[in-house]
Amino acid sequence: MQDIFENFGIYLHVPFCAQSCDYCRFYKRAPTSADLDAFVRGVGAEIALRKTLNGGSLPRPQTMFWGGGTPSVLDERRIEALAESFGGLLPTDEWTVEVAPTNATRARLEAFKRVGVSRISMGVQSFDEGTLRVLGRRHTLKATMEAIGRVADAGFSHFSIDLIFGAEGQTPEAWLADIDKAAACPVDHISAYCLEFESATSCCGGRGGDYAKAEREGDFLEIAFGRLPELGFAQYEISNYAKGGARCLHNLSTWHMARWLGFGPAGASQFGGRRFRNAPDFGTWLCGVNADVPAECDVVPLDDSEMFSSALIFGLRMNDGVDFDLLRRRFPSADSEKYREPLAFLASQNLLKIDGGRIRLTQSGRLVADAVAVELL
């Protein structure tokens, strides 16, 4: 197996959602049949354009991830057409697709399996009807359990579900019950994310999005930190837990600062010495790829300093931590010495542990990982 730092991944942003969830910050729009067809054609054009801009070809990826939005709004015909567009760019090791309980139909799941998808990630969010209502989710608990059963029956190699904590009125007991119910499902991966509302959505209630108070967030995090490993799901990143080593390879490559190329509106990339994303607007993205001029934004040139900083901060989110000496070898032009003092300070506060060249967050550090990152910026 090649070094994870050399991995190449493809991300496809499918920007369509039947309903906009109040907590979601990702670019999305309501689907129409015409837009879905234009999207499929646009992705094909974008693949050809990216090949041309890269000298006529792209490396075959180890991983692929279709996110959104909701990729499972695509019907079987469009799923197969998109997969055909990627052709020789289909992944060698892992192919993840996100689905929603409301449209993870048997026919769509069979189509995903047929084209080679190996891993399904379902946005369950909660097994509590009241929490689902607060989150503005359309699915019911009954629909969720039926969808989970269909994914299990389809026989994908790996199956992950997402949970969200921090909704208004959610108690620690309700959060623990969500964890227990998730772990009892036929899954080998669970992601547990803290709720973050968009500032202008109905769930904020005009209070500036202050639901997820730091202390309460820490309490819920500690429940997950303790309970999921007891149920056989080992934590490998602050929000991610795997059973039997079923870690998400695509995300691991991203956190290790490998290479990835994003397709679709708002698709993010780290490729060719740059970090950038496609325009987060369907029409702008489509006009760009049809004119052979990609509409890009948020472009950041990647030198050793930028890559060292990113690899350090994202690496510390993983339970394995980072090998500081390895980072110095990977990015030799970076001023690594400037991190010595803040790292020593964080260690003195019991927020991280330095063991030779290996640096890991302590449990206290994982509870305030964002604050640790700010200290290192």
Quick check: is 286 in a domain?
A: no
Instruction: Confirm if 254 and 3 have CB atoms less than 8 A apart.
Output: no
Quick check: is 29 in a domain?
A: yes
Provide the pLDDT for residue 204. 29
Please count the structural domains in the chain: 2
* Long-range Cβ contacts of 277-282 (<8 Å, 24+ apart): 278/13, 280/27, 281/27, 282/15, 282/29, 282/35, 282/39
Angle between the 369-376 and 304-316 helix axes, to the nearest 10 degrees? 160
CATH of the domain at 164: 3.20.20.70
Q: Which of the listed residues 196, 226, 254 is the one where a domain comes to its end?
A: 254
Question: What average pLDDT does the segment 97-120 reach?
Answer: 97
Looking at the structure, do residues 157 and 68 belong to the same domain, yes or no?
yes
In this predicted structure, the answer to whether residue 285 has a pLDDT above a threshold of 60 is yes
Tens-place pLDDT, residues 341-351:
999 999 999 99
Looking at the structure, do residues 58 and 196 belong to the same domain, yes or no?
yes
Looking at the structure, do residues 145 and 63 belong to the same domain, yes or no?
yes
In the Cβ-directed half-sphere of 51, how many Cα atoms lie within 13 Å? 16
Quick check: is 177 in a domain?
A: yes
Looking at the structure, do residues 231 and 349 belong to the same domain, yes or no?
no
Question: What average pLDDT does the segment 126-142 reach?
Answer: 87
Looking at the structure, do residues 38 and 116 belong to the same domain, yes or no?
yes
Looking at the structure, do residues 216 and 319 belong to the same domain, yes or no?
no
**Model confidence pTM above 0.85:** yes
Q: Which of the listed residues 254, 282, 317 is the one where a domain comes to its end?
A: 254
Q: Provide the mean pLDDT of the chain.
A: 92
Say which range, 137-146, 156-165, 202-211, has the weakest mean pLDDT. 202-211
Q: What are φ and ψ of residue 302, in 5° steps?
A: -105, 105
In the Cβ-directed half-sphere of 197, how many Cα atoms lie within 13 Å? 22
Quick check: is 103 in a domain?
A: yes
Provide the pLDDT for residue 212. 39
Phi-psi region of 350 (alpha: psi -120 to 50; beta: other; left: phi over 0): left
Q: Which of the listed residues 254, 276, 292 is the one where a domain comes to its end?
A: 254
Name the residue range of residue 330's domain: 304-376
Q: How far apart are the C-alpha atoms of 375 and 61, rounded to whole Å?
A: 34
Tens-place pLDDT, residues 215-274:
788 899 999 999 999 999 999 999 999 999 999 999 999 999 999 999 999 999 999 999
Q: How far apart are the C-alpha atoms of 363 and 53, rounded to whole Å?
A: 45
Looking at the structure, do residues 108 and 15 belong to the same domain, yes or no?
yes
CATH of the domain at 367: 1.10.10.920
Tens-place pLDDT, residues 167-199:
889 999 999 999 999 999 999 999 999 987 433
Q: How far apart are the C-alpha atoms of 140 and 126, rounded to whole Å?
A: 10
Quick check: is 296 in a domain?
A: no
Tens-place pLDDT, residues 44-65:
999 999 999 999 999 999 999 9
Provide the pLDDT for residue 154. 98
From first CA to last CA, the distance across the chain in angstroms is 33
Task: Name the DSSP letter for residue 61.
Answer: P
Six-digit token string for 373? 């990152």
